[in-house]
């Protein structure tokens, strides 16, 4: 019954929210965020602990409220994205010019590009923006429960133009499929700041220890494709982005190179999160 209610809730979001006038949708989601802030439930408390790890003990609690508003904005935009046009995707996202030229070159030279993103701002509109430039993009999605919910997210991202692989339960290991697509010049986009496998690489992150997935580092070392950590943040009307290149070491054993590369990614994520902590949507336990 619970799974059915969850599925119905997301179905209503995609069916109703995108039909609302934008000012009403914004007001509704901001009100929901402020209610969650005042309610101070478990997810809000986890966000507070995570942001305090980033900012320090003197963190203003209004940052938690702003973080919840940013998270609500992500969902409001996500529910509305399927009804938008290619021009809307291009207008709703901006990449700083130097980063844009790097991505354009990587997508054109046949080597492919690996984009490793933290859970910041709106990563879905970033993917839609890439696809709107006719750069083929492939990503990996967690297999959610119930299965009908996973299928909804699959259909949602495929409608935005992405090709999506399941993290688990697929016919072949995702890294093998991603490597093949990189060899064909595709853009690979992977969320990389939270390990879902429990077997990730341990890294130092804002003075603590956590685990992050090894996939982006393994792909970069295995294929030679350029690897970028992507910084995202919300402006008033759009998501803005820049890319920080991460160059894997070429010396040492493979496992050590993967570990060092993943630590470099963690450092790059930290730089972006420190600049825009309110747009980091980490409501789960992260540090070990």
Q: Torsion angle of alpha carbons 195, 192, 188, 225, nearest 10°?
A: -110
Residue where the block lists tokens 């990389």: 192
Q: pTM of the entire structure?
A: 0.93
How many C-beta atoms surround the C-beta of residue 59 within 10 A?
A: 15
Q: Flag whether pLDDT at 12 surpasses 70.
A: no
Q: How many whole angstroms separate alpha carbon 267 and alpha carbon 79? A: 31
Q: Flag whether pLDDT at 276 surpasses 50.
A: yes
Q: How far is CA 118 from the centre of its chain?
A: 5
Task: Report strand pairing: 208-212 vs 93-95.
Answer: unpaired
Would you state the structure tokens that stand for residue 101, as one six-digit string? 């030229």
**What 3-state DSSP class applies to 29?**
helix
In this prediction, residue 199 carries a pLDDT of 84
Q: Flag whether pLDDT at 7 surpasses 90.
A: no
Q: How many whole angstroms separate alpha carbon 229 and alpha carbon 194? A: 14
Q: Is 158 exposed, middle or buried (0-12, 13-18, 19+ CB in 10 A)?
A: exposed
What mean pLDDT is reported for the chain? 91
In this prediction, residue 168 carries a pLDDT of 78
Residue where the block lists tokens 């600049």: 275
């Amino acid at each position: 019954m619970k799974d059915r209610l969850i599925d119905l809730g997301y179905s209503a979001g995609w069916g109703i929210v995108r039909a609302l006038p934008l000012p009403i949708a914004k007001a509704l989601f901001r009100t929901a965020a402020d209610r969650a802030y005042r309610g101070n439930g478990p997810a809000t408390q986890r966000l507070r602990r995570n942001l305090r790890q980033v900012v320090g003990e003197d963190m203003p609690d209004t940052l938690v409220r702003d973080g919840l508003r940013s998270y609500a904005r992500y969902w409001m935009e996500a529910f509305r994205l399927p009804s938008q046009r290619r021009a809307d995707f291009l207008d709703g996202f901006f990449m700083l010019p130097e980063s844009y030229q790097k991505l354009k070159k990587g997508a054109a030279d046949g080597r492919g590009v690996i984009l490793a993103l933290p859970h910041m701002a709106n990563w879905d509109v970033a993917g839609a923006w890439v696809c709107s430039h006719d750069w083929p993009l492939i990503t990996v999605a967690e297999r959610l429960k119930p299965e009908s919910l996973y299928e909804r997210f699959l259909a949602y991202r495929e409608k935005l133009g992405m090709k999506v692989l399941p993290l688990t339960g697929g016919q072949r290991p995702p890294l093998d499929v991603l490597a093949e697509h990189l060899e064909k010049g595709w853009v690979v986009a992977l969320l990389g700041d939270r390990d879902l496998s429990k077997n990730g690489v341990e890294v130092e992150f804002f003075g603590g220890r956590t685990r992050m997935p090894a996939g982006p580092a393994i792909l970069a070392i295995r294929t030679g494709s350029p690897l970028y950590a992507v910084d995202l943040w919300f402006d008033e009307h759009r998501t803005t982005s820049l890319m920080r290149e991460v160059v894997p070491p070429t010396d040492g054993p493979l496992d050590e190179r993967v570990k060092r590369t993943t630590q470099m990614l963690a450092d790059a994520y930290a730089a972006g999160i420190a600049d825009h902590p309110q747009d980091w949507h980490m409501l789960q336990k992260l540090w070990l």
